[in-house]
Amino acid sequence: MQINVFFDRENKEKTINLDLNSSVKDLLTKMNINPVTVIVSRDSNIITEDEKINDNDKIKLISVISGG
Partner 1 sequence: MNCCNEKPIIELTAGEKLCKQHFTEYFENKVFKTITKFDLIGKEENLGVAVSGGKDSLTLLNILNKLSKQNPKIKLTAIAINEGIEGYRDKSLITAQNFCDKLNIKLNIYSYEKEFGMPLDNMLKVLDVKPCTICGIFRRYLLNKKSKELGFTKLATGHNLDDECQSIMMNQFKNNIHSSARLGPKVGINENKNFVQRIKPLYLCTEKEVTTYAFVNNILDNFIECPNIGKSYRAQIRDMLNDFEAKFPGTKYSIVNSFLQILPDLKQRFKDAEVNYCSNCNEPASKDKCNACKYVEKLNKAKNKPLIKIK
CA pair distance 25, 61, nearest whole angstrom: 12
Single out the residue of 46, 52, 54, 58 in contact with partner 1 (rule: CB under 8 A).
46
Whichever of 16 and 42 has its CB closer to partner 1, that residue is 42
Q: Which residues pair with 12 in a beta bridge?
A: 7
- Mask of contacts with partner 1, 13-32, x by CB under 8 A? --------------------
Name the residues that contact partner 1, by CB under 8 A: 8-9, 11, 34-37, 39, 41, 45-50, 62-68
